[in-house]
Amino acid sequence: MATNSGSKSHRLPDDELALIRKYIHGCHILHYYNIVDAYGHLSVRLSESVFMMSRYMAPALVSSTDDMVLYDVETGEALQKDAPKGFSERFIHSEIYKAYPKVQSVVHSHSLEVVPFSISSTPLRACFHMAGFLGTAVPVWDAATVYRDDPLASNDMLVRSTGMGASLAKALGPADAEGLPKYPVALMRGHGFVATANNIEMAISKSIYTMQNAQIQRAAAGLSGSMEGVRFFSEREAHDAGLTAIAGAAKPWPLWVAEVKGHALYKNCV
């Protein structure tokens, strides 16, 4: 993100600095909790038509305003011609923002705990009270559905175009009464998952608890000898637990920020 006007530097408004500071903490928290490694990314909407992501770099190393890039929601392209290199999969974010105007933040993860559920016949579903938002089955988006319609597209499983991003966004289902996706999380076959929310804190919270639900579900299946032995949440339980978790989303955020602020790897210079 440009912080200079001509040859004279200027200070960004305090509200923008606060959002960038929160964004940087968010990138670090995602790494701290193994939601991302060198790959994966976080974005935040700035307006109806603009969203922000870091430049092409490992989330753990994002540290300053110079690492920020602004993108056009409609095209998924950087607003500034001289912007630093961005992520090829920025279209995951632009197309979700385009499809769901109330979504304010998106996480894309390659979590090794979650990927197995994207390639097996066993659905990821809520069995942990902090992950009630997952409901009774998390949708799985398959990139192969796009390849069949576009034989010239690369089959590298990456979301490199608006068309692929739009296809993924549809997997999140119709918008609910609040204008958010019916399914806040969708898995990507052999790739990872996306999590959506109405703010950065909730997008990160949903990402962390999606991974933890996957860990618990697999552990329970191991203890019982099969997935059939796992007692999952009913639709009502998932719904109500999801509402409770959302209501308490602010509680873990100060802890998560304190954890990364006290870690030598993470730098936040904003």
Enter the tokens of residue 57: 């770099």
Helix segments in 44-133, DSSP class H: 90-99, 115-118
- pTM for the predicted model, two decimal places: 0.94
Region label for 225, one of left (φ > 0), alpha (ψ between -120 and 50) or beta (otherwise): left
Q: Which residue among 89, 95, 113, 201 is the active-site one?
A: 89
Q: Report the domain count for the chain.
A: 1
**pLDDT of 83-131, one tens digit each?**
999 999 999 999 999 999 999 999 999 999 999 999 999 999 999 999 9
Question: CB-based contacts of 236: which residues, under 8 Å, 6+ apart?
Answer: none
In a domain, 113, yes or no: yes
CATH code at position 239: 3.40.225.10
Q: Is 89 a residue of the active site? A: yes
Dist CA 104 CA 117 (whole Å)? 26
In a domain, 30, yes or no: no
In a domain, 46, yes or no: no
pLDDT tier for residue 8 given thresholds of 50, 70 and 90: very low
Residues above pLDDT 70, as percent of the chain: 95
In a domain, 260, yes or no: no
Structural domain of residue 146, as residue ranges?
101-254
